[in-house]
Every structure is written in structure tokens, then in C-alpha cells.
Structure 1
Amino acid sequence: MRILNTWLSTILLATISTAQSLPTDAIAERANAHVGKNKNVGIAIGIRSGDVRWTKGFGRVSNPDGDPPDEHTLFEIGSISKVFNGILLADRVLAGELTLDDDVQASLPEGVTVPRGEHRAITLLDLATHRSGLPRMPSNFRPKDGADPYADYDANRLYEELADCRLSTEPGESYEYSNLGAALLGHAIALDAGRPYAELLTERVLEPLGLESTGIGLGNGTKRLAPVHDGLGRPAQHWNFDVFAPAGALRSSVADLLLFVDANLGLRAADSSKVLAFAREVRVETEPPLGLGWHVMRIGELGIWWHNGGTGGSRSFLAVCPDRQVGIVVLSNSERSVDDLAIESLRALLEPARSEPEVTPR
């Protein structure tokens, strides 16, 4: 589960151009250069630009043989799961069931202690925007199986960590990307609702969006689920999750994530449109700007909402630019990053916000 470094802004500042049709040849050339020996095993790309939709697979689902992945191939999407975690929070807030300023302690079982700052408690908004002061990972994260590291980390271990944890900063004070915080947020939301997290996420977020090929543990034992590979192309193990599911457990396809992109761009009717807009609303105007689960990149007046992800054998990237009705999904069943491929492709799709694009400090 990963987050892209701040060099995203530098790369996107290069001159970008568009044509009446998508620059698919250039994107395909870049993608083909990313697959092969000691590279990504398979990559699937989906693009939306206005009324044009394009998908294509590259490489192989299995190494060294097999067909290319397609838009229906299932991949582990890692930390893109955090975007859906933020949307679940948005849904429950708009339903009047929670508020962004709620103390996370209130949703946890009696006897469970959450660390507090000197001046205030950790709120749900702090967790959704990585400003809780919690570390990236728990100090008691010692997996029994390094190939499937999150499978045995349960709620009891989370509670043990919270009891012993010290905050690095006052809640709400500064950004520190935290898988622990994302896990705690989803766990608290589910406990407050009295429902298992996977069930609640499906009912409140995935089903209303029509995402039938997105879920936790989806595709086990089926050919649709792409085998995963390490950075050298060797077989790896799919990851399973317990309490850390909100931080990185989702699996999905390019086709499903393009439906999600379309809903965020306003290109398809969705009952969740208000929820999606609420989740995208920038809550923190520091660097980086943050929505609920989203990171936001600004180039002039152009806003790009994005997240990337990774597991032990997959990498992913998703971005939407509502101002230009552009979105991109890049999924791979290898441990090698697809960030640069996604960013280069995004550059080819977007018009410059101005003749000399600049990052606008917020």
C-alpha cells in the first residue's frame, strides 16, 4: 500500500497537449515499454476523455505465458481502497449518522484507548486526511507470513497498538501518511454501524455505484483474478486482510474503475453523486491538498484527484480531472511501479491549465 511522492507535481508541469482523439498510440507504446523481462508482467489501462472511452491490456496475465489482461481482469488495487474508505465516511456523514468532527474513540469498544493530543482528540476527519499523528504502520506489526503480511493483524492487535502508541504530532497539525489511521477509520465506521466492514462498504458504496467487480476477497479461485508477481516477475502471493482491509484490501477491474471514474466526472447518473462530490471536497489546503481519502494535485486552476496503490505483487494508479472530464486507471499484477506510466499518459490527455502551468500553493 503506497502513496506517490511529491515529484508528481514536477512531472505534470511539463507541456501537455491533446488532440481530437485520444493519443492511444503513444500511450500503448509507453505501456509496451513497461512490460517484459524484469519489468511488469501484465498491465491494463483504462482512459476516459469526454465521450471517448478506451481500454487495452499489455504483457501477460501469467509469466511467461498467457493472454494479455483485459478490462475485466481482477487486480489487487492496494491503497486506492482508501478512496472508497473516504467515500464510505462521506456517505455516513451525509446520512446524518456521523460527523467529520466525531472523536474516533466514541465508535470503539469500551476499554479501548485511543491516544490523544495535548489539546484535542483524533477525529474521523483527521484519519481520513492523514493528519491524526498516528504512524504509518503499527509498532506491533510482526506478520507470521511475510508473503501475506496483513492476514493475521486483527482488531485485538490494533487495540494493543493504540494503547501503547504515541502521536508524532498534535491531531490536525500536519500530514503523515498512515495505513494505521486508514485502518482505524474504517474499523470505527463499521463498528459504529454494527456491520462487518466489507458488507457495509458493499451496501453503502459499491452497489450504489454499480461496481459489481469491486470488493474484498473478490475472485479467489477464479481465472479472472490475475496472478501476482514480485519485481523480478516471480510468482507472489495474493494479500488477505483483517482489520487493515480499509487501507488496502479491495480488488477491482479496469471496467469497474472506469465506471467509478465516470461517476466522479459526472458522466453517468449515480445516486451517489452528492456523496462523491462531498468526498472530493478539499478539506485541507496544505501540501498536499486532501479530500476524504483523495489526494489532490493542482496545476493552475486544474484539479486532479488521485491515489495509487501497491501490494506484494501488484501496483495501481487512478486519477480523475473533473474540469477536463478526464480519468485514467492503470493496474498491474507486478510489484513494479506504474506511477510514471500513468503520469506520462495523463500528461498526454490533459490540456494545460495555462500557457505556463504552475502548481498553485494552497
Structure 2
Amino acid sequence: MSAGLLPWPGTDDDSDHSRARGPVEDEDALRDRLAAAVDAVDAPDVVFAVSRSGRRFLRCGGTAPHRPVPRQDLRYEIGSASKTFTGLLLAQLIQRGLLTGGERAVACLAPGLRTDADPVTLAHLVTHTAGLPTLPGDFYLRALPVWRTNPYGSYPAERVTGAFLRHRPRHRPGTRWQYSNFGVAVLGHAVAAAARTPWAALLGAHVLRPLGLTGVALRAADPKADAVGHGKDGHSATLAFDAGGFEAAGAVRATPHDLLTFLEAHLDPAGSPLAGALRAVRTPVLRRGLGHRHVHTVAWFRHPTNGGPMYFHSGATLGQQAFLGFRPDTGTALVALCTRRFRARDSFVATAYGFLADDRQP
């Protein structure tokens, strides 16, 4: 799919959109919509949490019996929505002058080595324009014996970087868009190599601690605090997700409250220690598709609404799904989580997207 890259790091055009005011929604109506959204998702555990103009609203439900730890206090796997954390980390490192985004990934991972992947930069990796497939070519064969239990955990960091260094890009970097877990995983390893610091430590120092995100983890740590995922049937429990060498692409697990805090920082960057980076990740850097109608930022998918752009990213693991999104025009952030892996076209993502896209305002 052809892509049009805008000047890195792009030009913020939030202000170019009209702020058409929609019908005013009172708090009771918002709570009713939250209840309807939760009821629409058939999963053992469901959480929809909204921040609107600084006030938080939360609704939980699901078919599973109540557990000792309330659903709103559990830590959930957010899968590919982790890429919004990785995008913000890269933007912050650029803001601090530690990186530019133009570094070649091969130079970070293997200085002096020249390969067919040599032209690929960090900017290509974060924008899914590096010419990489969704997953490495040998991923499926290696993961097949543990496909239903631990496919990513069987593919460690050294295999991710080795596959990248051997890879022959399908297209000239920067010319085609293809969503790639492989590319963002490589980005994490390249950034860590450039900074000579593990990716998890970089994320903690530059994103999690500055934003006060104390409930975020990158692996299962406490069975009582971690939500339990379920397969497509909604009944079979799955093992905790192991991201293997794909940490930067999908390892984050967090509480609904921490995820709301993360999104609230995006809604109102002013005063945040990450203000510059938070503004940068709202900046369009890529247009693709027919007429270049699909817009992406460093970290988010970006769709138009009547009042202005909405930013969102979904994610899934073997047994859980997540949807994160925010709208500056309405001052609204949404965290939607559930402990069931639905099929590709499912009610969960459609329900969450529809909730955020609704133009009713406070």
C-alpha cells in the first residue's frame, strides 16, 4: 500500500479542523452509554473507562464471577496498543536530543555491517514503512508447536534482530505502508542498542515514571493482580502473554486507571514533563491509501470526526483485547479492555470505536 511520508517529524495540524459543537451530553447519559457498551461485549471481564474534561467515569461487567481484586484494579494485556508507548518513547528521546529518528537501524544494531536492510531508519520502523512483513519469515514455523500457548515467547530478541539483518526489504523504505509487529520490535532493539540501555529501562525512565504510571508492567508478575485471558470461545483460559523479542510491539500490561492517565497526558500536554513528545505524537507523519485518506502519527491511527481528529490504537494478545483512544475536540479519552480474544471483525473494537467517535460532547 503506497504511502506519502510528511516531513519528519511533521506539522501539527490539529488547529486546522473546525470545532463544530455537537449536542451536549450530561453525565447520566454518558453513564448509560458506558453501561450499554459494556453489555454489548460478551467476555468474562469488560472495562470501559472514560475521562472527559478531567472527570473519570468507569463501568465494569462480564460473565466471570467476581474475584477478590475488582476488575478496575486488574492489570490487562494491551497487545499492539503497546506501540503507542513505544512511539511516545521515541518522540521523547528525539525531543531530548538523544536521537533524531533518522538513524539507520543496522548502524544501531550492528555498527559497520552493511546489509540489504541498511537504508531502514528508526522513522521507517515506527511508521510501518520499512518494507518489513508483519512477522519474520521463519516466525510461523518456529511458533507452530506452541501457536495456541506461547508463539511470541518462542522467538527471542536475538532472533528478531538476526531476522532483520538478514531480511531483504520488499519495497524501498518509506514508499509502502504495511503494519509490522516485526518492524516495531526491531525499533525497540535498535533504540536500546543506540542508548546502550535495555528498552524496558528506557521506557521506565522516559515515559512511565515521568507520567506516574505505577501500574504498568511488561510481563506477568502477580497472578492476583493480572487479568486472566480467554480464547475465542470465551471460556478457555489462556496463559499470560509472553512477548519474547517483541516487547516494544506488544508487551505492555496496565490497569485501566494508568491507561487513562496515559491518555489524559495526550489530551493536555501542557505542564507535562513530556509535553513536547506528547504534542509530537499527535502530529501527522504519514498518509496512505486511496487519495491518502488514511492518516497516521508516530504512535496513533488518526481519523476525522465532525469536530476534529480522533486518535486510537487497538491491540490483542492470545486472550485479551484493548482499545485506547482520545479526542482533543471533546476532551475525551477512552480505555476499553476485555478478557476474550475475538475474531478479526468483532463487536469489541466496533463498540469502543463507535463510543469514541460519537460526537456528543460534555
TM bucket normalised to smaller: 0.7 to 0.9
Following superposition, the deviation at residue 151 of structure 1 comes to 1.1
Query: Does residue 1:45 correspond to 2:28, yes or no?
Result: no
Q: Distance in 1 between matches of 2:68 and 2:353?
A: 26
CA distance in 1, matches of 2:278, 2:167: 33
Alignment of 1:310-329 (within 5 A): 310-329=316-335
Name which of 187, 193, 199 aligns with 2:201: 199
Residue type matched to 1:31 in 2?
V
Structure-1 residue corresponding to 2:58: 55
Aligned residues: 328
* Alignment match, 1:260: 262
Distance 1:313 1:271, change over 3 A: same
Query: What is the distance in 2 between the residues matched to 1:86 and 1:330?
Result: 20
Q: What's the CA shift string for 1:223-279, capped at 9, x where partnerless?
A: 121111001121111111232100000001110011111111117842112111112
Please report the RMSD computed on the Cα atoms of aligned residues, expressed in angstroms. 2.4
CA contact (8 A) 1:18 1:348 kept: no
Would the aligned equivalents of 1:115 and 1:162 in 2 still touch at CA under 8 Å? no
TM-score (norm 1): 0.84
Counterpart code for 1:328:
L
Question: Where does 1:162-311 land on structure 2 (aligned, <5 Å)?
Answer: 162-218=164-220, 220-233=221-234, 234-266=236-268, 269-286=271-288, 287-299=293-305, 302-311=308-317
The answer on whether the counterparts of 2:158 and 2:245 sit within 8 Å (CA) in structure 1 is: no
Letter in 2 for 1:74: R
**1:128 corresponds to which of 102, 126, 130:** 126
1:342 counterpart letter in structure 2: A
Match of 1:342? 352
Contiguous gaps of at least 5 residues in structure 1 = 1-15, 352-362
CA 1:45–1:113: 2 relative to 1, 3 Å: farther
- 2:11 maps to none
Task: Quote the residue 1:89 is aligned against.
Answer: 90
Partner of 1:23: 30
Task: Give the TM-score, by structure 2 length.
Answer: 0.84
In 1: Cα distance, 2:199 partner to 2:271 partner: 26
Contact 2:106 2:165 in 1 (8 A): no
Q: Indicate if the aligned counterparts of 1:213 and 1:256 stay in contact, CA closer than 8 A.
A: yes
Supply the distance in 1 between the matched residues of 2:54 and 2:248 (Cα, whole angstroms): 32
Matched, 1:79 2:80: yes
Residue 34 (1) aligns with residue 41 (2): yes
Contact 1:140 1:157 in 2 (8 A): no
Structure 2 CA distance, aligned partners of 1:113 and 1:251?
36
The aligned residue for residue 15 of structure 2 is none
Deviations 1:332-361 (A, max 9, x none): 11112521120222244545xxxxxxxxxx
1:105 paired residue number: 106
Tell me what 2:8 maps to: none
Q: Within 2, Cα distance between the matches of 1:32 and 1:69? A: 18
226-235 or 265-274, larger mean C-alpha shift: 265-274
Which region of structure 1 is more displaced relative to structure 2, 225-234 or 282-291? 282-291
Kindly indicate whether residue 155 of structure 2 is the aligned counterpart of residue 153 of structure 1. yes
Residue 32 to residue 191, structure 1, CA distance change in 2 (3 Å): same
**Aligned mates of 2:309, 2:157 — CA distance in 1:** 37
The verdict on how the C-alpha distance between 1:273 and 1:114 changes in structure 2, with shifts beyond 3 A counting, is farther
Query: Is the contact between residue 161 and residue 186 of structure 2 (CA under 8 Å) also seen in structure 1?
Result: no
Looking at structure 2, the residues matched to 145 and 344 of structure 1 have their Cα atoms a distance apart, in angstroms, of 35
